[in-house]
Amino acid sequence: MGVEFARRLRFTARALAVYAAAALLFQYLLVLVFRTLDLGALGPVMEILPPGLRALLGAQAAELLSPRGFLAVVFAHPVMLVLSVAFGIAFASGALAGEIERRSIALLLVRRVTRPQIVGGVALMLLLGSAFLMALLWMGTAVWTTVYDLGPVSLTAFAWVAGTGLAVLWALGGVALLASAATSEGGRAAGVAAAFAIAAYVGNYLANLSSQWRWLKPYSVFGYWDPQEIVRRGTGQWTDLYVPLAVAASAVILAAIVFSRRDIAV
Amino acid sequence: MTRPDPIIEATQLTKWYGRRRGIENVTLAVAAGEIFGFLGPNGAGKTTTIRCLLGLVRPQRGQSRLFGKPFHRIDRARLGVVPGELSLFERMTGAQLLDYLAALTGRRPTERADLLARFALGSGDLAKPIRHYSRGMKQKLGIVQALQHAPEVLILDEPTEGLDPLMQQEFYALLGELRGRGRTVFLSSHLLWEVERTCDRVAIIREGQLVALERIDTLRARSVRRVEVQFAGAAELSRFTPPAGVVVEQIHGVRLTLRVPVPKIGAVLAALAARAVSDLAWERPSLEDVFLGYYREGADGR
């Protein structure tokens, strides 16, 4: 399994580096934007934002004008989410369904590596890749706040932001892995996983938008990741870690079962 | 003939892909040290049978065993496989691929250097990413990866696809050596002369079902010979009456082409002895003739 994992690590490292560089660059750009804002003038503007936009910005939109609130929203910014989630979906869908589609999987399955081991290796790579992205954003937060003197920021709170973000990304990656284990085309697996991620995001958005839809929140993995709320309280909740991790673990186990029982025939 | 302790065994293998037929009731056994040919046209069920043997697909009925065990319980280091429609990891170099697959196999690639030399894959080739390889180079690399760890059993699904004639000859020579070393080979092919040349026994699969399982020489003996006779004149030709069961395939001037079942050879010779014959040519039957014979039988029976 170590040999197989090493191959995946080797051939994913470059793609992961590109995702990471793009995420760091985007974070840096947003920090530069924040430094140019006239916070005094923006205060009243935040109060009159339409509810739809406030829901998009997070539960604590007013926090957006503080350095910690702004840096927190960077983690969950749609562009950042697309970058982070895209890594998991692209990697997971290419790892199983993509290799079945390319027919290269047969070379592995006739050797001393079992199907659950292959799934396990991909799940581990997903976890490490997502952890790398979140750790980099956390380090970026530490660096920018120091370099630009952005005021007191609790790095412990941001560790919670990164940790819960990692759990959510791994859950989405796990679902992508499950889709990949069940299909024989990388594109189809990516499509299913992307649809799931979008549905989860829209569900959480609706829950933030209206009390009528609040019941959706526990059913969306994004409902367990509110960076602004974490930095406002200075810490996170364990349930925000446990629930996405449970989703991730269940999806990975299910993926191993599905992949072990399916036919590899393309 | 029953064979003790088959190395490769399939019993009543049946696989349907939804409503699409894969294979039905495929039963065969390959003994240790045997070179076994598995013949059929594209879509006949060769690859499905191999996938069942390798545990890649689960048959709805029947079972397969390698070394007397189900695939998931065997020591896979004892096995070498060239999959059908071979696809390699295109981003790797040839050397990286061979190292990676050898590490996954868990056996030292003791045969690699010899195989690379035989198939003319130099260090320059191995340093290039596989996506820059030609079809033939990929196939050669596919053969090397399957054999580099000296496996006892080889399962080869159309291994000469894309190889140039020179490399095909090298591959056949290699199969001969493997036979000498007591290795067991399961060779799937739609190239009938390839199987005829290299195998001890052959199974012919047609529309998912085995239609023949014979020794190559038995199969030839059962088959029909094509005989081309040139008579001394038109009168001789007109007086010749072919024995019952012999088919006149073609008449061209004073030349006659006959299809002669093996049991009728004596009768044909006797009939020809009574006539003035200026030339006679017996064609050694190719497996293709045998194969077409099976197909004709099937078509006639429908």
For chain B positions 61-90, those within 8 Å of chain A (CB to CB) are 72, 76-77, 79, 81, 83, 85-90
**Structural domains of chain A, count:** 1
* pLDDT attached to residue A39: 67
* pLDDT attached to residue A182: 96
Q: Does B20 touch chain A (CB under 8 A)?
A: no
Starting at the edge strand found earlier in the chain, the sheet holding B61-66 runs B20-30, B8-17, B61-66
Q: Residue A231 is part of which domain span?
A: 2-261
Which residues of chain B make contact with A264, given a CB cutoff of 8 A? 51, 56-57
Q: Measure in Å the smallest separation between the Cα of B53 and chain A Cα atoms.
A: 10
Which residues of chain B make contact with A265, given a CB cutoff of 8 A? 17, 48, 51, 56-57
- Residue B268 CA to residue B253 CA, distance in Å, equals 20
Q: Does B93 touch chain A (CB under 8 A)?
A: no
Q: DSSP 3-state assignment of B35?
A: strand
Which residues of chain A make contact with B56, given a CB cutoff of 8 A? 106, 109, 263-265
| Contact criterion met (CB below 8 Å) for A107 and B101 | yes
Q: From the list B55, B76, B91, which residue is nearest A11 (CB)?
A: B91
**Nearest-Cα residue of chain A relative to residue B81:** A110
pLDDT by residue for chain A (266 residues), tens only, comes to 688 888 888 888 888 999 899 989 998 998 888 888 766 666 666 667 777 776 666 655 556 778 888 888 888 888 889 988 999 999 999 999 999 999 999 999 999 999 999 999 999 999 999 999 999 999 999 998 888 888 788 899 999 999 999 999 999 999 999 999 999 999 999 999 999 999 999 999 999 888 899 999 999 999 999 898 898 888 999 999 999 999 999 999 999 999 999 999 86
Q: From the list A3, A11, A110, which residue is nearest B54 (CB)?
A: A110
Secondary structure tally for chain B: helices H, strands E = 11, 13
* pLDDT attached to residue B261: 82
| Contact criterion met (CB below 8 Å) for A113 and A4 | yes
Which residues of chain A make contact with B90, given a CB cutoff of 8 A? 102
Which residue shows structure tokens 């910690």? A68
Start-end of CATH 3.40.50.300 domains in chain B:
8-220
Which residue shows structure tokens 């509110």? A226
Which residues of chain B make contact with A113, given a CB cutoff of 8 A? 104
| Contact criterion met (CB below 8 Å) for A204 and A222 | yes
**Closest of B190, B185, B187 to residue B42, by C-alpha:** B190
* pLDDT attached to residue B302: 42
Q: Does B163 touch chain A (CB under 8 A)?
A: no
Sign of CA dihedral A170, A176, A181, A184: negative
Q: Regarding the domain with residue range B8-220, which homologous superfamily does it belong to in the CATH classification?
A: P-loop containing nucleotide triphosphate hydrolases (3.40.50.300)
* pLDDT attached to residue B283: 81
Q: Does B17 touch chain A (CB under 8 A)?
A: yes
* pLDDT attached to residue B286: 64
| Residue A266 counted as domain residue | no
- Within a 10 A sphere around the Cβ of A55, how many other Cβ atoms? 19
Q: Measure in Å the smallest separation between the Cα of A53 and chain B Cα atoms.
A: 44
Q: Measure in Å the smallest separation between the Cα of A10 and chain B Cα atoms.
A: 10
Q: DSSP 3-state assignment of B113?
A: helix
Reading the block at residue A48, the tokens are: 């009159």
Q: DSSP 3-state assignment of B91?
A: coil
Q: From the list A104, A263, A265, which residue is nearest B88 (CB)?
A: A104
* pLDDT attached to residue A62: 56
* pLDDT attached to residue B210: 93
List, in order, residues 6 or more apart from B46 with CB less than 8 Å away: B38, B39, B40, B84, B157, B158, B188, B190, B205
Low-confidence ranges of chain B (pLDDT < 50): 1, 300-302
For domain B224-284, the CATH class is: alpha beta
Q: From the list A102, A112, A265, which residue is nearest B76 (CB)?
A: A112
| Residue A248 counted as domain residue | yes
pLDDT per residue as tens digits for the range B171-202: 999 999 999 999 999 999 987 778 888 899 99
| Residue A160 counted as domain residue | yes
Which residue shows structure tokens 């925000």? A240
- Residue B163 CA to residue B161 CA, distance in Å, equals 6
Q: Measure in Å the smallest separation between the Cα of B30 and chain A Cα atoms.
A: 19
The pTM score is 0.84
Q: Measure in Å the smallest separation between the Cα of B32 and chain A Cα atoms.
A: 20
Q: From the list B54, B87, B103, which residue is nearest A104 (CB)?
A: B87
* CB-CB under 8 Å, A112 with B104: yes
| Residue A153 counted as domain residue | yes
Q: What ipTM is given for this predicted complex?
A: 0.82
Helices of type H across chain A? 2-36, 39-47, 51-57, 67-75, 78-93, 99-101, 105-109, 115-147, 155-182, 186-209, 227-233, 238-261
Start-end of CATH 3.30.70 domains in chain B:
224-284
* CB-CB under 8 Å, B104 with A3: yes
Give the phi and the psi of residue B96 in degrees, each rounded to 5: -60, -40
Chain A residue set in contact with B, beta carbons under 8 Å: 3-4, 7, 11, 102-104, 106-114, 261, 263-265
Cβ density class B8-20: b for 16+ within 10 Å, e for less:
bbbeebbbeeeee
